Amino acid sequence: MTVSAVAREQVRQRADFTCEFCGVSETDVGGQLTVDHFQPIAKEGSADLDNLIYCCIHCNQYKADYWPQLSDDPLLWNPRSESALKHFFQLEDGRLHPLTPVGAFTLRRLRLNRAPLLAHRLRKQQIAEGVRLLARYRDLVRLTEELLSQQSVLVEEQRALLKEQQELLRWLLSKQ
């Protein structure tokens, strides 16, 4: 079943133009991503906006038409209803570590630790660190400017005091 252009645009914007499963953006891949039915239409899913997920072609292909059929079939993480932080923890090397059975199954099913995604996460970490350092640098520059301004005021006050001291010394010497 095709998704209307209006619904597709709503899903894109709601997802901030980013794969809701793995986090790659349209900018990262150089084009639009896909709209997937979280619960496939063939397995009684609907075309409601709540059932539509914006995702990259790889996550869409790996997910395929998976939907648990039996009560003990593993569940797939739904990024529309739960935070990734509930199911995954990102390690320093960019890999996701599962925190729940849903997270473990989703990692395997969608192959969320594939090499390009590790590189993508590490690059995002580096960019975030660069932004953090730049903000810190700006704060330090601002503080340095404030200190220099305060120092300038103190230097002027010291000059005035020295001038008063010189006048007082001249007056004292003239009285002798």
List, for residues 67-81, the tens digit of each pLDDT value. 999 999 999 999 999
| Residues with Cβ within 8 Å of residue 82, at least 6 apart in sequence | none
pTM of the predicted model, to two decimals? 0.77
Quick: pLDDT tens for 78-89.
Answer: 999 999 999 999
Comparing C-alpha atoms, which of 111, 22, 25 is closest to residue 62? 111
Take residue 62 and report the two structure tokens written for it: 């790996």
SS (H, E, C) the chain: CCCCHHHHHHHHHHCCCECCCCCCEHHHHCCCCEEEECCCHHHCCCCCHHHEEEECHHHHHHHCCCCCCCCCCCCCCCCCCCCHHHHEEECCCCCEEECCHHHHHHHHHHCCCCHHHHHHHHHHHHHHHHHHHHHHHHHHHHHHHHHHHHHHHHHHHHHHHHHHHHHHHHHHHHCC
Cα-Cα-Cα-Cα torsion 68, 66, 82, 71, nearest 10 degrees, comes to 0
The stretch 117-142 carries a mean pLDDT of: 96
Res 159 pLDDT > 80:
yes
Looking at residues 132-159, what average pLDDT do you find? 96
pLDDT of residue 160: 94
Q: Label residue 8 by pLDDT band (50, 70, 90).
A: very high
Q: 20-48, pLDDT tens digit by residue?
A: 999 999 999 999 999 999 999 999 999 89
Residue 159 to residue 29: CA distance in whole angstroms: 63
Mean pLDDT of the chain: 95
pLDDT of residue 1: 59
The total of other beta-carbon atoms located within 10 Å of residue 84's CB is 19
Beta-carbon neighbour count of residue 93 at 10 Å? 9
Boundaries of every domain in the chain: 5-113
24 touches 119 (CB < 8 A): no
| pLDDT mean over 140-150 | 96
For residue 167, pLDDT over 70 is answered with yes
